């Protein structure tokens, strides 16, 4: 019976209905078109959050809205209500995900390519029934604001060489237990060549893909050269064109000078009332649509500069602020109400936000985020300072019978093996789980999966990562401490923030100058190692 429930939950997950810790509570993942919703759609999401949830809407790193705390009995009704405004659900698990894009050249002055145009041609792959987790991202310039080199299996980055504009293709990006920065696999592709490149990737998975494999796994198993050869086959052969239009795409460049209004949403959370105000502002002063940014800050493009003051006052009516001071928007995952969560990131990050205000830090280039577990949905690896909940599993020798369930669920790190144990005062000789502590990713999946409570958390807490960076020089943050309490994490973070205020550069620049060892000494982290 329990096995059937697990299968049902996995099926719901693949359809965008994700289980939360509370009994019968789920989060609804709402798909966006080119990472935008129109104002009517955002209002509908807010209404559903009020009627069926707890009045919260999450702006997430997947560039979609999520409605948490929806009872299972209401899921079908929510789906029907969303369909009234032409919305459907995104996916989680082993399916093709919502395609990530940034702004095109009609809105963003930095864009060298029309990322939305390519997105319209690739949107058809969202509906492919393939059972692999596949994430595709399209950035209009090398700044890569959607961090596609890390967050997507396939990333296309807009470039311009000798007057020719096109896309460089990267493959392998992912976070989680085995993070990987995507590798450049092709250069200066046209839109049609990008489509063929994606088709080739799907063909490789169909013919040779193994269960659970991501693009990084294909690189590790097949080798970069072999996969690169497969992906670049027949790029000049155009596929039948199938365009799914983005209804919020602008038809031409705005003639008058406009701004993109970025709104602070700590932990990516807004109330339903705040969401309605954002929708209202987009209609009155923008183009009646809202963009979902990678760091959880709602964005309203195409606002006249002369209306900035009026818009700011409207936001203040619902306790919202423009993202024009302090540090960049602080983002996280579900935090404590996710079934995978180990630590309460919302609590920590809201305390850190207050500390930023106390220290008077005003540098929007400083980036901080957190994830409740090593799956890192809150992109902890890609910040000046990132946080990640983790737990160290330990085997209870008196309870373990060597059933092997934990070994099966540890399929990403392969840190658990079932071996033989001689008789002891605690138990007879027999099979037992053996954990390789060097391989362990501290995700806690084995603890949650064990039906005999034979695995427990020896210690848990926050890990601190520093030096992550997006853009042309994308790099992953380095873990400098593990298993810290919330108070200990806050103390170290305060020292990091003071150093950033003093140096006025990002963390990776400081580490490059002084080295990671000296950086640890400077912020006093060594006593926690």
The pLDDT averaged over each successive group of 10 residues in the chain (529 residues) is 57 93 96 97 98 97 96 97 98 93 92 96 96 97 95 97 93 96 97 98 96 96 97 94 93 81 97 98 97 96 94 97 96 90 96 97 96 94 97 94 96 94 69 95 97 96 96 92 96 96 94 94 79
**Strand arrangement of the beta sheet that strand 478-484 belongs to:** 331-332, 368-371, 385-395, 455-466, 478-484
Q: What's the domain count of the chain?
A: 4
The DSSP code sequence of 454-518 is -EEEEEEEEEEEE--B-STT-B--EEEEEEE-HHHHHHHHHHHHHHHHHH-S-HHHHHHHH-HHH
Q: Are residues 162 and 227 in the same domain?
A: yes
Helix ranges (H only) for 166-242 are: 191-208, 215-222, 224-231
Q: From 145, 59, 75, select the one nearest 333 (Cα to Cα).
A: 59
Asked whether 27 and 67 are in contact (CB, 8 A), the reply is yes
State pTM to two decimals: 0.94
CATH number (domain holding residue 514): 3.30.413.10
Residue 330 lies in a domain: no
Give the distance, in angstroms, between the CA of residue 484 and the centroid of all CA atoms in the same chain.
Answer: 23
**CA distances, 4 to each of 1, 20, 73, 410 (Å):** 5, 18, 18, 21
Asked whether 86 and 51 are in contact (CB, 8 A), the reply is no
Q: Are residues 115 and 190 in the same domain?
A: yes
- 3-class SS letters over 392-429: EEEECCCCCCCCCHHHHHCCCCCCEEEEEECCCCCCCC
CATH number (domain holding residue 421): 3.30.70.20
CATH number (domain holding residue 54): 3.90.480.20
Q: Which domain holds residue 434?
A: 391-460
**Strand arrangement of the beta sheet that strand 136-139 belongs to:** 100-101, 136-139, 154-161, 164-171, 183-189
Q: Report the distance separating Cα 220 and Cα 201, nearest Å.
A: 15
Q: Are residues 310 and 254 in the same domain?
A: yes
Identify the DSSP state of 335. Answer: G
Query: How confident is the model at residue 126, as a pLDDT?
Result: 97
Element (H, E) at 432: strand 430-435
Q: From 51, 123, 37, 39, select the one nearest 80 (Cα to Cα).
A: 51
Give the distance, in angstroms, between the CA of residue 393 and the centroid of all CA atoms in the same chain.
Answer: 25
3-state secondary structure of 529: coil
Q: Are residues 136 and 211 in the same domain?
A: yes
Which of 460, 479, 499 is where one domain is finished?
A: 460
Q: Are residues 356 and 226 in the same domain?
A: no
Tokens of 47: 């209404």
Q: Are residues 450 and 470 in the same domain?
A: no
The set of residues, in sequence order, having a beta carbon less than 8 Å from that of 455 and lying 6+ positions away, is 393, 394, 395, 396, 400, 406, 433, 446, 447
Q: From 371, 354, 380, 382, select the one nearest 506 (Cα to Cα).
A: 382
Q: Report the distance separating Cα 197 and Cα 154, nearest Å.
A: 9
């Amino acid at each position: 019976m329990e096995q059937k429930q697990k299968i049902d939950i996995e099926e719901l997950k693949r359809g965008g209905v994700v289980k939360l810790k509370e009994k019968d509570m789920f989060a609804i993942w709402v798909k966006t078109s080119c990472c935008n919703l129109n104002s009517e759609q955002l209002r509908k999401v807010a209404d559903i959050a009020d009627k069926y949830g707890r009045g919260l809407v999450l702006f997430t790193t997947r560039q979609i809205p999520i409605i948490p705390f929806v009872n299972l009995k209401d899921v079908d009704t929510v789906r029907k209500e969303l369909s009234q405004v032409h919305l459907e659900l995104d996916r989680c698990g082993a399916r093709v995900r919502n395609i990530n894009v940034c702004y095109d050249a009609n809105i963003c002055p930095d864009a060298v390519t029309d990322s939305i145009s390519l997105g319209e041609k690739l949107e058809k792959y969202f509906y492919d029934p393939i059972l692999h987790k596949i994430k595709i991202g399209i950035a209009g310039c090398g700044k890569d604001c959607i961090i596609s080199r890390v967050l997507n299996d396939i990333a296309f980055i807009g470039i311009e060489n000798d007057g020719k504009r096109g896309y460089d293709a990267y493959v392998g990006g992912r976070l989680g237990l085995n993070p990987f920065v995507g590798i450049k696999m092709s250069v200066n592709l046209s839109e049609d060549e990008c489509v063929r490149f994606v088709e080739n990737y799907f063909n490789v998975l169909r013919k040779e893909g193994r269960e659970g494999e991501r693009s990084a796994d294909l690189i590790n198993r097949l080798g970069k050269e072999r996969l690169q050869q497969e992906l670049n086959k027949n790029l000049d052969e155009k596929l039948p064109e199938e365009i799914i239009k983005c209804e919020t795409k602008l038809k031409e460049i705005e003639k008058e000078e406009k701004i993109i209004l970025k709104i602070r949403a700590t932990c990516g959370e807004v109330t339903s009332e705040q969401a309605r105000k954002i929708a209202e502002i987009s209609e009155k002063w923008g183009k009646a649509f809202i963009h979902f940014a990678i760091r959880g800050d709602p964005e309203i493009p195409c606002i006249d500069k002369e209306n900035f003051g009026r818009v700011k006052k409207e936001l203040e009516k619902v306790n919202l602020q423009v993202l024009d001071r302090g540090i960049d928007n602080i983002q996280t995952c579900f935090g404590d109400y996710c079934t995978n969560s180990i630590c309460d990131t919302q609590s920590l990050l809201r305390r850190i936000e207050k500390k930023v205000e106390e220290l008077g830090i005003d540098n929007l280039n400083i980036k901080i985020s957190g994830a409740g577990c090593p799956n890192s949905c809150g992109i902890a690896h890609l910040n000046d300072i990132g946080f990640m909940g983790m737990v160290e599993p330990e085997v209870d020798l008196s309870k373990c019978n060597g059933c092997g369930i934990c070994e099966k669920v540890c399929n990403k790190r392969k840190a658990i093996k079932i071996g033989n144990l001689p008789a002891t005062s605690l138990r007879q000789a027999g099979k037992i789980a053996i954990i390789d502590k060097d391989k362990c990713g501290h995700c806690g999946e084995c603890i949650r999966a064990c039906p005999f409570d034979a695995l427990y958390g020896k210690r848990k807490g926050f890990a601190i990562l520093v030096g992550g960076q997006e853009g042309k020089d994308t790099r992953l943050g380095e873990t400098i401490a593990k298993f810290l309490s919330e108070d200990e994490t806050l103390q170290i973070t305060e020292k990091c923030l003071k150093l950033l205020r003093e140096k006025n550069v990002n963390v990776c620049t400081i580490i490059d100058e002084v080295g990671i060892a000296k950086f640890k000494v400077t912020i006093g982290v060594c006593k926690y190692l």
